[in-house]
């Protein structure tokens, strides 16, 4: 199966009269007001995280809404505020988008009290994406810590749907406790059907759990990295990046092939409100996905 990135084809005009622009900066003007959407399902995952399935109400807007793995949307809850949330559903899913949200503040606290059927707004998608097209033909190492699995679920779907384009896929996932592992119910499916190598580790295994106890970097003992032919995607709490990327560097992986997804407080999503800046770059426009070489040269990034 070939990649579904549309290529410019003169025969397909006028339906493709515009060159596809996945960086989406040029169509930011269309994202100032949100799409009216409905929460169609809420799946409780752990004590603090729920998965929201959100569907854009207008069928036309729903059809046109397209994103790439790694991008995020602003979820607006009238009366409360809006929050930037990375999309954790498949980019080929035209029916709804899935957002996994941890209860931490005012807006997310309110979201957790909502029932299916509530009207919310979606603005976006914003930001850069994981370079799925560059990774074709390579092995991919997806490394997540805690809530970091959320933005990685979308690239996992992507590689599953285009499985033959990629080599070995390894998912390394670390969490604090077994009860905090997100999407654990999908691991078996991913392993068996798509042949993903999924390694998990928890800091505190508690009583009676089989499996590894330790921190995420301990998992590096279990794998061999073919450094000439591997891309790494890392997402997790800020403290994780340095340790994980140092390990990756040690195994010979060049920093341009490590991609991280940074987190910043954001309000506008369009590079205006200026709070997500890291040096002279804006996380909402130039990120959240950066290659690690760029991040290393940006002060205050991690």
Q: Assess contact for 60 and 167: CB atoms under 8 A.
A: no
- 3-class state of residue 117 by DSSP: coil
Shortest Cβ 189–another protein spacing (Å): 29
Please, where are the H alpha helices in 75-148? 106-111
Q: What phi and psi, each to the nearest 5 degrees, are found at residue 55?
A: -115, 130
Of residues 58 and 222, the one with the C-beta less far from another protein: 58
Dist. CA 75–CA 95, nearest whole Å:
17
Interface pick for another protein out of 4, 32, 44, 242 (rule CB under 8 A): 32
Interface pick for another protein out of 134, 237, 246, 252 (rule CB under 8 A): 237
Dist. CA 254–CA 158, nearest whole Å:
23
Dist. CA 210–CA 254, nearest whole Å:
34
Interface pick for another protein out of 2, 11, 79, 192 (rule CB under 8 A): 79
Interface pick for another protein out of 8, 47, 279, 293 (rule CB under 8 A): 279
Interface pick for another protein out of 46, 160, 249, 277 (rule CB under 8 A): 277
Residue 47 sits in the site that holds another protein (CB under 8 A): no
First to last CA, the chain: 37
Q: Among candidates 126, 164, 160, which has minimal Cα distance to 142?
A: 160
Residue 20 sits in the site that holds another protein (CB under 8 A): no
Stretch that binds another protein, among 61-69, 103-111, 162-170, 252-260 (CB under 8 A): 103-111
* Residues contributing to the site for another protein (CB under 8 A): 25-26, 28-29, 32-34, 36, 76, 78-83, 102, 104-105, 108, 118-121, 237-238, 263-265, 267-268, 270-275, 277-280, 285, 297, 299-300
């Amino acid at each position: 199966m070939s990649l579904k990135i549309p290529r410019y084809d003169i025969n397909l005009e006028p339906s493709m009269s515009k060159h596809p622009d996945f960086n989406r900066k040029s169509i930011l003007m269309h994202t100032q007001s949100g799409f009216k959407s409905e929460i169609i399902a809420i799946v409780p995952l752990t004590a603090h995280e729920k998965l929201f399935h959100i569907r854009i109400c207008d069928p036309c807007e729903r059809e046109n809404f397209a994103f790439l793995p790694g991008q995020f949307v602003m979820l607006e809850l009238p009366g409360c505020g809006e929050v930037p949330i990375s999309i954790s559903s498949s980019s080929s899913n035209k029916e709804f988008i899935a957002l996994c949200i941890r209860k931490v503040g005012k807006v997310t606290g309110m979201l957790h009290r909502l029932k299916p059927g509530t009207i919310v707004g979606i603005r976006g998608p914003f930001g850069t994406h994981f370079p799925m097209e560059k990774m074709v033909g390579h092995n991919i190492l997806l490394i997540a810590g805690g809530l970091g699995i959320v933005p990685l679920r979308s690239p996992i779907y992507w590689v599953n749907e285009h499985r033959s384009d990629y080599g070995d896929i390894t998912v390394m996932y670390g969490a604090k406790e077994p009860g905090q592992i997100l999407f654990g119910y999908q691991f078996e499916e991913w392993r068996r059907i798509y042949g993903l190598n999924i390694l998990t580790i928890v800091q505190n295994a508690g009583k009676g759990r089989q499996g590894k106890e330790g921190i995420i970097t301990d998992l590096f003992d279990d794998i061999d990295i073919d450094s000439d032919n591997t891309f790494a995607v890392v997402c997790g709490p800020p403290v994780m990046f340095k340790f994980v990327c140092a390990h990756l560097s040690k195994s010979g992986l060049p920093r341009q092939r490590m991609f991280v997804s940074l987190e910043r407080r954001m309000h506008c999503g369009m590079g205006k409100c200026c709070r997500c800046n890291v040096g002279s770059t804006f996380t909402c426009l130039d990120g959240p996905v950066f290659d690690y070489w760029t991040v290393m040269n940006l002060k205050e990034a991690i």
